[in-house]
Structure 1
Amino acid sequence: MSGIHFFEKGNGQPLVLIHGFCETGKMWEDFSEKLSKEFRVICPDLPGFGDSPISGDKISLEEVSVILEDWLESNRIENPIVIGHSLGGYVSLALLELMGNRIKAIGLFHSTAFPDDADKKEMRNRTIAFLKNNGVEKFVTSFVPPLFPENRRAELSREIESAIEDAKRSSLNGLVAYSAAMRDRKDRVEVLRNFSGPKLLIAGTEDGAVKIESSRAQKDAFSSYAELEGVGHMGMVEERQKTLEIVRNFCISAL
Structure 2
Amino acid sequence: MSAIHFFEKGQGQPIVLIHGFCEIGEMWRDFAEALSTDFRVICPDLPGCGSTPIASDSIQMEEVAVLFEEWMEENNIHNPIVIGHSLGGYVMLALLELMGNKLKAVGLFHSSALADDEEKKGMRDRTVIFLKKHGVNTFVTSFVPPLFPEERREELSDEITQAIAQAKNCSLEGLIAFTKAMRDRKDRLEVLENFSGLKLVIAGTEDGAVKIDTSRKHKSAVTDYFELEHTGHVGMIERKEETLKIVREFCEKVSRSET
TM-score (norm. length: structure 1) = 1.00
**1:184 counterpart residue number:** 184
Residue 126 of structure 1, CA deviation: 0.2
Q: Which residue number corresponds to residue 141 of structure 2?
A: 141
Counterpart CA distance in 1 for 2:218 and 2:169 is 33
Q: How does 1:44-123 map to 2 (within 5 A)?
A: 44-123=44-123
Matched, 1:33 2:33: yes
Deviations 1:108-140 (A, max 9, x none): 000000000010000000000000011000000
Task: Report deviation, 1:218.
Answer: 1.7
Instruction: Write out per-residue CA displacement over residues 71-126 of structure 1, whole angstroms, 9 at most, x where no aligned residue.
Output: 00000100000000000000000000000000000000000000000100000000
Structure 1 stretches of 4+ with a deviation exceeding 4 A read none
- Partners of 1:5 and 1:107 in 2: CA distance: 21
Q: Within 2, Cα distance between the matches of 1:212 and 1:32?
A: 27
SS in 1 for 2:218: helix
Matched residue SS, 2:217: helix
In 1, the alpha carbon distance for the partners of 2:158 and 2:237 equals: 11
**Identity rate of aligned residues, in percent?**
67
Name the CA distance, whole Å, in 2 between partners of 1:218 and 1:13: 26
Q: Which amino acid aligns with 1:216?
A: R
User: Which 5+ residue runs of structure 2 have no aligned equivalent?
Assistant: none
Which residue does 2:16 correspond to in 1?
Answer: 16
TM-score of the two chains, using structure 2 as the length reference? 0.98
Distance in 1 (CA, whole Å) between partners of 2:155 and 2:220 is: 34
Q: Over residues 154-175 of structure 1, what are the superposed CA-to-partner deviations in whole Å (9 max), with x where a residue is unaligned?
A: 0000000000000000000000
Residue 249 (structure 1) aligns with:
249
Number of residue pairs matched by the alignment? 255
In 1, Cα distance between equivalents of 2:2 and 2:89: 20
CA distance in 2, matches of 1:238, 1:133: 31
**Contiguous gaps of at least 5 residues in structure 1:** none
Query: What is the Cα-based RMSD across aligned positions, in Å?
Result: 0.4
Q: Which residue of 2 aligns with 1:125?
A: 125
